[in-house]
Amino acid sequence: MEIVSFWIGFDIREAAAFAVARESIRRYNRHLPVCGLVLPELQAAGLYKRPTERKLGKMWDVISDAPMSTEFAISRFLVPTLCTMRNSYVSRGDWAIFMDCDVMVRTHPSELRRLLVDDSKAVYCVKHEHVPTGLPKKMDDQIQTSYPRKNWSSVMAFNLAHPANKALDTEMINTFPGRDLHRFCWLKDDEIGELPPEWNYLVGHTELPEDREPKLVHWTDGGPWFEAYRNVEFADEWRDLLDRWAS
């Protein structure tokens, strides 16, 4: 009964963010597998077949008829499949964690594992009520979209032995609109567990009581690797980790 692996979305435009996200986990546990979701590799393996175009200078998912702000917008849902491919035997209580690359873990992963207490849940996440306001674009001039359960899928704990997650196969991932996948269309509402908000702290959006600190920081609008966001909250801590990784 453990977290068997972490998976981080990779986008070449945010390679530094990916490196820090990975290092932020490894500083607490060097033995825990931390894997990248690299789109060309998933395409070459025949796991990701969704048609993608360039439209208005952006990546465009043809099935969803919508922009993709990152290369891992949809591939994140392959995590249970990838875990099964690596190890065909999954024990009850085994979990895999997906995270966007624009995050930083600030505590030992064992603290997260202690929250995954209900095996009846197929997925755990922070159930944000996040409706973007202000500018219509974010980070690297990407379109800021709004959809139900926005940012729920940016940090997910997958219960690898849960039967409901068997429906999340490559056929579904390659044919369903992204908006349906991001709202967990393959699950019943009572199969989605809730994590405390400090486990997906949206910089500039999440408010925590004074006695609670973010366990996982998420720069959903743009992080310190972009010039326009150099001075966002926790930027100095992020740069310290970047230096640690580079040294």
Q: The CATH number of the domain where 38 resides is what?
A: 3.90.550.10
| Between 93 and 172, the higher pLDDT residue | 172
The answer to whether 241 and 27 have CB atoms below 8 angstroms apart is yes
- 186 phi-psi bin (left φ>0, alpha ψ -120 to 50, beta other): alpha
Q: What is the DSSP letter of 213?
A: -
Percent of the chain with pLDDT over 90: 85
The H or E element that residue 25 is part of is: helix 15-26
57 band by pLDDT with thresholds 50, 70 and 90: confident
Residue 61 Cα distances to 11, 39, 81, 117, 179, angstroms:
16, 13, 21, 36, 11
Q: Mean pLDDT of all residues in the chain?
A: 93
Using the predicted structure, report yes or no on whether residue 86 has a pLDDT greater than 90: no
pLDDT for the residue numbered 90: 76
Cα gap 127→153, rounded to integer Å: 9
Cα gap 41→32, rounded to integer Å: 22
Q: Which residues 6+ apart lie within 8 Å of 205 measured at CB?
A: 128, 130, 220
pLDDT for the residue numbered 146: 62
Q: What is the CA radius of gyration of the chain?
A: 17
Looking at the 3D structure of the chain, how many domains does it have?
A: 1
Sign of CA dihedral 126, 127, 128, 131: positive
- Residue range of the domain that includes 117: 3-246
Using the predicted structure, report yes or no on whether residue 53 has a pLDDT greater than 80: yes
Average pLDDT on 101-105 reads 98
